[in-house]
Structure 1
Amino acid sequence: MAEHPQRGRDLAHEALRAAKERAVARGREPGVRRQGVPRLGGGQNPRRRRWSGPGGDERDPQPLGRLVSRMSAEFGWRDRLANGRVFGQWASLVGDEVAEHAQPVTLTDGELTVRASSTAWATQLRLLQRQLIARIASGVGHGVVKRMRIQGPTAPSWRKGPRHVAGRGPRDTYG
Structure 2
Amino acid sequence: MGTDLKNGASQGVSLSAKLIGVAAFLFLVVGLLAGVVFLTFQHIENLLETSVGQDIRENIENAGILKELSTVFADAALVSSTFYRNEELLLNKGQDLISRARSIESKSSSTALKDPLGEYTIRMQEVIDNCSRINRILRRADTLEKEIEQSLTSLERTVTDKKVAQ
TM-score w.r.t. the length of structure 1 is 0.29
The higher radius of gyration belongs to 2
More strand by share: 1
TM-score w.r.t. the length of structure 2 is 0.30
